[in-house]
Structure 1
Amino acid sequence: MPRRKNNKIDIKPSWIADSCNFFTHVITDTLENLRKSSISRTEKMALDKLETQWMQHYMPSNHMPESNPCPLPVPKPKPRRPTAKPTAKAAGKANPVEQSVDPHTLDDHVNIVYRICIPPLKPHWQCRSFDLSIPAYVCKDNLIDQLINWQLLDRIMELPQEEATAMFQKYVKKLLLLQQVD
């Protein structure tokens, strides 16, 4: 059985700038500050003697800080798989023969086909559209929006397309007749 190679990378130690000289700087700064202060001649001679002994016995390599190796490069993250979003089924394809017409250019009592698209407002619903036959004035005055409520949506979004469209059409006609009477 072949042996696996060890994939370790040789990491060279990296030092913080001037960290090797820290102890040297501390001692020299301390001795300089003591010399500047008011001390006697014998104390100054003792400081000189201490400094020479320290220089003879101090080994900078013994006082090196611990190595601070550079971290290994972080592996690049794997590209995410695209998540599949549920696509809304096309509720009804418009016939190429049908043309859109601006209802404001028509007489008020001309019947038009008014398409209402309802997005999936609840998680179990699908996007659906309903083609209603209404007079042009209803579209001009935007009267359909006032008629739509949650009770109606709960009923028509659960039914098959043709049955839901028929129920919606009947509901709109009934409420438009009530508005005309008022």
Structure 2
Amino acid sequence: MNATQWQLIEALGTLGRPVHTWTGEGTKENRNAMGLTKTHTLDALCVGPLDHEGGDAIVRFPEQVLVAKATGRGSYARTTPDRYGFPRLRRARTKQHFGYVTGDLVRAVMPIGMWAGTWTGRISVRARGQHSLTTPMGRFNVSHWNLRLLQRGDGYGYSTRSESPQSTSRKTR
């Protein structure tokens, strides 16, 4: 990591702008002095020199942060292997069926049946048009006629979480 760090500093220095570095230990000292929990978001706020005795303090914190989770975009394999590694069945050459791709975020309006109502979730497409919808309440099949696209599947699942800035126990050195 140190070799990469110095190469990056040298490369950025050629741009003619000032480049400053900071250690992880300095970030930890700032975080502990402010009484903050250890999260990536709050660590980003604690980077850089702070004069704690002079009154420097971090006064604004994010209430919510965006969390992006890698979900993948499917498989390039054209066959599904059995437990011994031999081809068991052939997969379809196309990944898009009836305008939808596995991983798309959709809203389904189910008019009748056990799952009647409006549902939002990610789908797994099927060639026959009866796609599988995964919601927090479970997974069920839904016709492509009952779907409306909300977001294309880009390989990530997005959510938000609240950010609690204050630590449960304040550590001092």
TM-score class, shorter-chain normalisation, is: under 0.3
TM norm structure 2: 0.21
Q: Which structure is higher in RCO with an 8 Å CA cutoff and minimum separation 6?
A: 2
TM norm structure 1: 0.20
More strand by share: 2
More helix by share: 1
